Amino acid sequence: MDSVERVAIPLLIVQTISVVFLWSLDTLGHVSQTIFTLFLAADLLAFALIAHIYRTDKAGSTTGGSYLFAWMAAIAILFFAGLIVS
């Protein structure tokens, strides 16, 4: 498994789980709106990171480890915050 797959597969799993939570929410309540916002933010950041990794891989360059770690940490914080609030 190359480096792109090692990063993309966990991000796709996070996106799948967050989309399932987004589909199951009733957004009429204030708490549900907060949860929706957190999961949507995690989903969009994961998509953006996958797109960035794909673009840099096709260009032949590499993405730095600290850059990936910072974005993965931000996605994890938003995702787990959504789980905690729910």
- CA distance to 48, 55, 67, 85, per residue, from 36 (Å): 18, 28, 26, 10
Cβ-proximal residues to 27 (8 Å cutoff; 6+ apart), any chain: 33, 36
What is the pLDDT at residue 31? 76
Q: What is the residue-wise DSSP string for 40-53?
A: HHHHHHHHHHHHHH
For residue 73, the model assigns a pLDDT of 94
Per domain, the residue ranges of the chain are 3-85
Between the two ends of the chain, the Cα-to-Cα distance in Å is 34
So what's the pLDDT on residue 1?
65
Q: Which of 25, 47, 23 has its CA nearest to residue 35? A: 25
Give pLDDT, residue 47: 93
Mean pLDDT of 61-67: 81
pLDDT per residue as tens digits for the range 12-49: 999 999 888 888 887 677 778 888 889 999 999 999 99
The reported pLDDT for the residue numbered 59 is 87
